[in-house]
Amino acid sequence: MFLFRRGPARVTHRVTHRVTPAQAHQRTAGAARTDAHAPADGARGDAVLLDVREQAEWNAGHAPGAVHAPLSLLLGGAALPVAAQDRPLVVICRSGHRSRQAVRLLTGRGAEAVDVEGGMDAWAAAGLPVLVDGGSPGRTA
């Protein structure tokens, strides 16, 4: 029995399409960017923050300017909301698992997409805003 394999090692590269919450915030146009977390140079991103959590999670709180498209609907073949079509996507869920799944699905459909490492939990922990519809403070769920 050989402990070492002879010949060239097989190297596989797995491309990761992940960004931090701060990078996601910078890359997404989202809200009007007048909040305390706006980039110092006033720059706005061109990507759409796509929240793939379910409706109850979205209702509890979401990032300002995010577009909602539950993963369950995307997996069922639903199209992206108009506001997210033909734009780079930064995909977010609660912890990062569903957003990784959504990125695989969306890139398979030809979209340019990355996911937010740690999801809304990491977004909120980074001190980034979480609101409910109407602008009141929200929470992650």
For residue range 27-62, list pLDDT tens digits in order. 996 433 334 444 444 445 789 999 999 999 999 999
Which stretches of the chain score pLDDT less than 70? 1-16, 29-44
Nearest to 94 by CA among 70, 72, 118, 67: 118
Q: Is 51 helix (H, G, I), strand (E, B) or coil?
A: strand
What is the value of pTM for the model shown? 0.80
Q: How far is CA 92 from CA 11, 37, 123, in A?
A: 30, 18, 9
Q: Catalytic amino acids?
A: 93
Report how far residue 62's alpha carbon sits from residue 64's, in angstroms, rounded to the nearest whole number.
6
Query: In the predicted model, what is the mean pLDDT of the chain?
Result: 84
> Which pLDDT belongs to residue 60?
97
Please name the CATH architecture into which domain 46-133 falls: 3-Layer(aba) Sandwich (3.40)
The residue ranges of every structural domain in the chain are 46-133
Report how far residue 69's alpha carbon sits from residue 52's, in angstroms, rounded to the nearest whole number.
5
Q: Is 114 helix (H, G, I), strand (E, B) or coil?
A: strand
